[in-house]
Structure 1
Amino acid sequence: MAMTLEKAMTLAMHLLLAGLLLVLAATAGATAQVPDRILIDGREYALNTNPLESRLRGRRDFLSENISRSTANWRGYVAHWAIDGDRLLLRRVEVRLYDRESRQSSSVDLLTRLFPEGAPVVATWYSGALIIPDGRLVDYVHMGYGSTYAHYRVYRIAQGRGVEALSMDAGQFSAWRERKFQAFRQTAQYREAVADMRKEDSGMSAEDIDGFVRGFHAEQYPGL
């Protein structure tokens, strides 16, 4: 059966990201990322999940040309969220702009470029887990959201609605995430992702493919 254009593009993105992950893992230049922010009961936390990415699907045409780019923020924006009752709300999409003439930086909210109706926006497109470190930093890792914290909050979300709220220390969080990945390994989605990688003869070992799938779907399987 011929591969659809959408599937071919998704696979190409998988392979590109696989190469990038392998390069980043082997170099010291990998950079910890600036997290999104989330407001819960009047207090703001870092959010080690990026729910807007599953809506954007790589789209970046909403970003201004004079955006201030940084290796600490590859996605180019910081989304601000809130938990309101059982709803996950998008409040704003903040980007940093740089004016070359004045050599000044400023922040601007580009949410209405994506959602003309304005804020707040219920994140009905998102199903997964919100990872919120709310304890002290235990182990800093200079790559992505790889650092370890003493305590975490986790909110499981289904189509923009909270279905479970968890509170865990670092050991419990690590064990919980591993259980979720092992459950994901039993799904058709995991088998298809592995089969697609093998089909393209990417040169990756079975262990590398498994590790890549673990990282690429890291926002999805905790929501199982």
Structure 2
Amino acid sequence: MTAQVSERLIYGGKEIPLFTNPLSLYLKNSGTRFVSPHTANWRGYVGTWEILEHAGVERLYLVGLSAHKSYEELLDLSDVFPGHDKVFAHWFTGELRCPQGAQLEYRHMGYGSVYEYDLLMEFKQGVLVNKHARHNQVPEKKEEKDYPSFLRRGAQ
């Protein structure tokens, strides 16, 4: 599987990559599907998200969308959510992963690449309930003996 283009998150006035797809559950429940424009975007869209504070509570909002209805036709946020310039992500309960720092290891699969640290934010029904940083290390390289015999060099 190919590494995927990330979503975007605006947090603290900065735009950072987002290695989570908070819109996926909403699209699944609504039966909405988009067309993949290339192998680095199997979901067919890229969302821009923002964490906005209101009355002391930080909430997740979808503030931008570029989605492929077909290879030629792009939809934006107002096409998918008519009459809205932002949408509160009340359906999202889970963790957002925002990679930070230098890339330590590239993985040609989904959001599998490893960065110096990840900003992890936990949400319950679109409301931020916890956040912390996870510091990552360079993954250990596996030795040939650690792989099954059929994957080793010279295997018959």
Using the size of structure 1 for normalisation, the TM-score is 0.54
Match of 2:151 in 1: none
Alignment of 1:92-171 (within 5 A): 92-95=64-67, 108-171=74-137
1:91 matched to 2:91? The reply is no
Counterpart Cα distance in 2 of 1:139 and 1:81: 26
Counterpart Cα distance in 1 of 2:36 and 2:22: 22
Q: Retained in 1: the 8 A contact 2:117–2:135?
A: yes
Counterpart Cα distance in 1 of 2:110 and 2:32: 19
1:37 matched to 2:8? The reply is yes
Deviation at 1:143, TM superposition (A): 0.5
Match of 2:44 in 1: 76
Counterpart Cα distance in 1 of 2:99 and 2:128: 18
Match of 1:53 in 2: 24
Counterpart Cα distance in 2 of 1:163 and 1:43: 20
The structure where strand makes up a greater share of residues is 2
Aligned pairs, how many? 132
Counterpart Cα distance in 2 of 1:45 and 1:83: 12
Counterpart Cα distance in 1 of 2:98 and 2:6: 10
Cα offsets for 1:61-94 (capped at 9, x unmatched): 4x4xxx6710110000000001112110100111
Consecutive unaligned residues in structure 1, runs of 5 or more: 1-29, 100-105, 175-224
Counterpart code for 1:36? E
Counterpart Cα distance in 2 of 1:132 and 1:68: 23
Q: Retained in 1: the 8 A contact 2:36–2:42?
A: no
Using the size of structure 2 for normalisation, the TM-score is 0.76
Cα offsets for 1:113-157 (capped at 9, x unmatched): 332231211100000000000111000000001110001111100
Counterpart Cα distance in 2 of 1:109 and 1:42: 26
Percent identical residues: 37
Partner of 2:101: helix, strand, or coil?
coil
Consecutive unaligned residues in structure 2, runs of 5 or more: 140-156
Counterpart Cα distance in 2 of 1:44 and 1:90: 13
